[in-house]
Each structure stands twice: as C-alpha cells, then as structure tokens.
Amino acid sequence: MLFAFALIPVMGGVGVAVDYTRAATYRSQLDAIADAAALSAVSRTSVVNLANSSDNGKAATTSFFDAEAARVSAVTITKVTVQIVKTATALSATVSYSATVPNTFTQLIGMPQTAIGGTASSTTQLPIYQNFYLFLDNSPSMGIGATQADINNLIAATANAPIDPGCGFACHDLSGKEDFYTVAKKNGITMRIDEVRSATQALMQYATATEILPQQFGVSIYTFNNVLTRISGLTTSLGSAAASAAAIDLVSVPYQNYNADRYTDLDGLLPKMDYLMPSSGSGQTSASPQTVMFIVSDGVADEPTPGNSSGRTLAPITVAQCDAIKSRGITIAVLYTTYLPLPTNSFYQGNVAPFASQINPRMQSCASPGLFFEVSPGDGISQAMNALFTEIVSMARLTQ
C-alpha cells in the first residue's frame, strides 16, 4: 500500500521530466531555425536586395522561419517577431518566437502544453561605396630593380657604360646614349615600375572580387613624375581600369640631365591631385561615395627649388599638403616603396643620404592613421596593395 501511494508522485515526476525534455528538444530545433533566419536577414543577398529596394527583408525572414518551423512536428507557433534595423554602417536582425508543445503525461495534472520561446540576433557591416584615386610614382627612381638580385644584375649589365657605369637605375633615356631601361628589358630585369603595373592590375581583380554591391568601387589611375598623366578616368568598370593599367610605365627622358633631372615634383603635383578629387561623401549611396587617395611612391621629391626655377631640390614629402587633402574628409593610403640607399653612388650620398631617415616618417604622417605600408625590394607590392585596400574598406565600415 505504501509503495502504491509512493508510485503516484514518482510517476508524476518521471512524466514531468519526459515532457520537459521533449519541450527542450523542440526548443533547440526552433532556436536553430531562428539563428538561420537571423543570419539570412543579414546575408550578402539580403544586403544587395536592401540596396536595390525599399523592402528591408522582414517579410522574407518571417516566411523563412515559418517554412522551416513547419517541419518541426507537434509544435504550434503562436507568434513570430522579426526586427531589422539598418544604420549608416550596419544591418541587424532579431528573430523572436513563441510556441507551445503538447504534453503527454503532465496533461493528466492539468498541464496540457508547455510554452517555449527564444530569440536570435545577427549583425553585419554594410558595404561602403568608395572611389579610389591611384597616384603612382613613375619617376626615374622607380626604374630601380624590383629585388636585390635585379639591382645587382642591372649594375652588372651597365658596368661598361661610358657615362654612368654600374648604375642601378634603369633610366629611360631616349637619346640612346644611356638607355638603361632597354638594357633592363633585354636582360629580363624586373623593375619596380613593372611590379607597380602588375600590382595595379591585380588590385582591380581583387577589388572586383571584394565588391558586395554592383559598382561599389570606382577607380581612377594616374602616374606622376613632374607631370600628372591620366591612365584611366574614374570608372566603376574595374576590368576596363585593369586593361588601361597596362600602360603604366617608367617616364622617358629626352636625354640625360634634361630638366636638370627634376622628375618628381611632389610639391607642385599634390595640389593638382587634390583638385582632381571631390570631397569625400558618406559612402552610404552610390551618389555619395567616399574618396580615397592611394599613393604609391618612394617618397622623395626631386623638383625646382622654391624661388629658384633653375635650382634643384631633393626632399621628403611635405606633410602639410597631405593634411590639406585630409581636411576635406579624403582618406589617404600610402604604399611607400623603400627608397634604397646607394652607398656607392656619389649623388645619393650627397643629396639624399642627409635626409634619408626622414622619408619613412614623412610618408607615414602623410597617410591617414593605419593606412601606411612599406615594401622593400623582394617584398610583394601586389600583396601589399591588396592588404592596404582591404584595410581601407574595413576601416570605412567601422568608423562611419
């Protein structure tokens, strides 16, 4: 008799445990569906749809949850709430549900069903529209060998030159007296400008693969020495820009000492670069893209002396001019191709060595915070350009 009386609460407890476990199993399944629905609401496809229509995806997310939840037998969904919030830089989704699970044992004691519910949330950073203005140094100093081996090979190939034997720069002298550019080409020597060209073309492919929205990125390409040369006007057709980039090459000079060899007029060109770029937009729409200035250079100006048009001055970049550009909201990314010391070159020792230690710090100061990379011979310029591009895009999403 005592056992019979004791059996009643024991069986009741077992029944409650069975029903609770059953309800917990169904809740886990619905939680997984809610997670998937929240993720689908902020997926790449959803972001694209959001950009192209006024529908924020709430109805589609609700339908997704309902369709998947219908596969869970014996569960009755009583309420589904979907909230999708878009800010300037992020898209967030929250999916909440309420449901009931019929009980088997505890309905005998007045509990016909168990209520369950859950919430899932997900957030993604929204893509930013950006226009990149690439200014690529193609002055004679970019004719240096791409690697130390290339430099050594060029020095060896020019060892018997009558004017400047053992030169490490592939100067493109059209007079034919000292056309070390042709020497480099004939000997299969890769110059730094060659790497810049191929890296620019590779960057167009990388940017295309990175795009989330159609025509998210625009690009304009210029080379510079003592003048600016447009390689590609502003376009969102990155494939066309890559094709145009094939024209990137070392500047040619009529003859040695032409223009007193002043072929990197940074002080004169930075204001012109500034003029070519519109002030930066919010980046939230294609009509208001952010403006990014992307400089690839060894950072040494070789230009007329201020106040003396016939004079020649070599100096690091003027940071105040970079600051003037940044004051308009323009982001500046700098890829500094290390200006290598040439200890056997008397011109370098007399004109560049005195300020060589300032080149890197000045280039860093020119760049916006976190957007400075340095590459030396042997380092991958293409990898560095892609990494810098990725950093620009990531920072834009997080800071706007």
- Return the pLDDT at 105: 60
User: How far is 304 from 310, CA to CA, in rounded Å?
Assistant: 6
| pLDDT > 60? residue 13 | no
| pLDDT > 60? residue 225 | yes
Cα–chain-centroid distance for residue 315? 30
The β-bridge partners of 121 are 94
Q: Are 99 and 119 in contact (CB under 8 A)?
A: no
Q: What is the pTM of this model?
A: 0.78
| pLDDT > 60? residue 389 | yes
User: How far is 351 from 371, CA to CA, in rounded Å?
Assistant: 29
| pLDDT > 50? residue 11 | no
User: How far is 136 from 243, CA to CA, in rounded Å?
Assistant: 16
Residue length of the chain: 400
Q: At what angle do helices 266-276 and 319-326 cross, to 10 degrees?
A: 10
| Helix, strand, coil shares, percent, the chain, to 5 | 45, 25, 30
- Return the pLDDT at 196: 95
- Return the pLDDT at 198: 95
Q: In this structure, what token pair is assigned to residue 178? A: 């000292």
Q: Tell me the CA distances in angstroms from 320 to 19, 199, 332, one per residue in order.
A: 73, 29, 13
Q: Are 107 and 194 in contact (CB under 8 A)?
A: no
CA angle (334, 335, 336) in 5-degree steps: 105
Q: Tell me the CA distances in angstroms from 5 to 11, 105, 107, 108, 267, one per residue in order.
A: 11, 18, 20, 17, 98
Average of per-residue pLDDT across 117-132: 91
pLDDT band at residue 73, thresholds of 50, 70 and 90?
confident
Q: In this structure, what token pair is assigned to residue 146? A: 């791409």
Comparing 12-16, 110-114, 234-238, the range with the smallest average pLDDT is 12-16
Phi, psi (degrees; rounded to nearest 5) at 170:
-90, 65
DSSP label of 148:
H
Closest by Cα among 258, 363, 375, 260 to 310:
260
First to last CA, the chain: 76
CA angle (146, 383, 137) in 5-degree steps: 50
Checking phi first, is residue 74 left (phi over 0); if not, alpha (psi -120 to 50) or beta? left
| pLDDT > 50? residue 70 | yes
- Return the pLDDT at 125: 79
Average of per-residue pLDDT across 385-397: 86
DSSP 3-state assignment of 134? strand
Question: Which residue has better confidence, 229 or 124?
Answer: 229
**Model pLDDT for residues 351-386, shown as the tens digit of each residue:** 899 999 999 999 999 999 999 999 987 678 999 999
User: How far is 243 from 239, CA to CA, in rounded Å?
Assistant: 6
**Model pLDDT for residues 78-110, shown as the tens digit of each residue:** 999 999 988 777 888 999 999 999 887 666 565
Q: 76-86 and 217-224 as β-strands: parallel, antiparallel, unpaired?
A: unpaired
**Model pLDDT for residues 332-347, shown as the tens digit of each residue:** 999 999 887 777 677 7
DSSP label of 187:
T
pLDDT band at residue 203, thresholds of 50, 70 and 90?
very high
**Model pLDDT for residues 288-338, shown as the tens digit of each residue:** 999 999 999 999 999 888 888 788 899 999 999 999 999 999 999 999 998
| pLDDT > 70? residue 9 | no
| pLDDT > 70? residue 172 | no
DSSP 3-state assignment of 264? strand
Residue type, 239: G
**Model pLDDT for residues 268-278, shown as the tens digit of each residue:** 999 999 999 99
